[in-house]
Amino acid sequence: MTESDFVLPSYAFSADAGKTQWSAPSNIALVKYWGKYPSQIPANASVSFTLNNCKSETTLTYIKKSKADKDLRIKVFFEGELKDSFLPKVETFFLRIEPYLPFVRDYNFEINTSNTFPHSSGIASSASGMAALALCLMEMERRFNKSMTDEFFYRKASFLARLGSGSACRSIKGSLVEWGIQKSIPNSSNLYGIEYPFEVHKVFKNYQDTILLVHKGVKTVSSSVGHNLMNDHPYAKQRFEQAQANLSKLKPVFASGDLKKFIEIVESEALNLHAMMMSSLPYFVLMKPNTLEIIERVWEHRQKSGSHLCFTLDAGANVHLLYPEEEKEIIKDFIEKELVAYCENGHYICDHVGSGAKKM
């Protein structure tokens, strides 16, 4: 599908007012997206586990304008409070999606959103938040186009979510989502995420993700600045090729459940993401001393216990611990005895692979 397939050709909305409600989960990338081209086109393909517990819940209320004008009229409430600071991001999103949802200027919108994870946890809510908002808007479109297929609904939701935040396009479906053109993956697209189309071993169906909250403050460098620094990055070409190669290497790993190989690829991806940050100009470091302490402990634990615990990182200091469900008890014990000390106020969040966004 191309961009033009998502343009709403003509519409005759008769509704004066209404409300839509969706929840969308966060996701954690195994092969990382870092670097993009205009209109949120990823420089390399990526794949992520959809999470289950960490999600955004959004209600969109729309009321037809009494007098037509060209202005966007949006109010954003976060956890019950009016948040004007969220407006620039939301308005940019509405402007980007306008060619595909031309009705955005015909209504007054109120967006009420909240997260199931603490606001100041350092967990990016843009993926789940943009995915939930895109689904609410698609629900609106579907009300006026009853013949829309479910396939189109979810695909366009992912397409729109991408325009809000790249990785948000992987937060619509579960449990393993691929985004970006990869020659060997049929129907892969730079425009939206797809459910990983090949065999996935049962061990990955309920994989655990415990998020250790190392640093809950605001990041010193935002993702969008970080992506842009890949434009003139000396290792960009090699990094993009490496990501494509890692995605290919994961195919037999997902099929066989080869956890040793899985760990090698996932940890290497996390460290390479941060290596790109450290070798950008200007360079920056998002890891904290406790991030490295945890990584050391994870390696020690794996060596001593033979467990399949591994880590990954997103663009921040927090550590995602990934492990099979059957090792849950041993890992829980290890986290409580050895890792909690490295978490800010001892906080961590237990999550696992989930099945995607839900209508509320």
Residues that bind ligand PMV (CB under 6 A): 29, 32-34, 46, 124, 126-127, 165-167, 223, 227, 273, 314-315
Whose Cβ is closer to ligand PMV: residue 211's or residue 331's? 211
Nearest Cα residue to 155 out of 143, 169, 145: 169
Q: Nearest approach, Cβ of 211 to ligand PMV (angstroms)? A: 13
Q: Nearest approach, Cβ of 170 to ligand PMV (angstroms)? A: 7
Whose Cβ is closer to ligand PMV: residue 46's or residue 112's? 46
Whose Cβ is closer to ligand PMV: residue 46's or residue 210's? 46
> By the 8 A CB rule, do 74 and 111 touch?
yes
Q: Nearest approach, Cβ of 52 to ligand PMV (angstroms)? A: 17
Q: Nearest approach, Cβ of 83 to ligand PMV (angstroms)? A: 19
Whose Cβ is closer to ligand PMV: residue 123's or residue 140's? 123
Q: Nearest approach, Cβ of 79 to ligand PMV (angstroms)? A: 21
Q: Nearest approach, Cβ of 177 to ligand PMV (angstroms)? A: 11
Whose Cβ is closer to ligand PMV: residue 121's or residue 126's? 126
Whose Cβ is closer to ligand PMV: residue 49's or residue 342's? 49
Q: Nearest approach, Cβ of 246 to ligand PMV (angstroms)? A: 12
Whose Cβ is closer to ligand PMV: residue 230's or residue 253's? 230
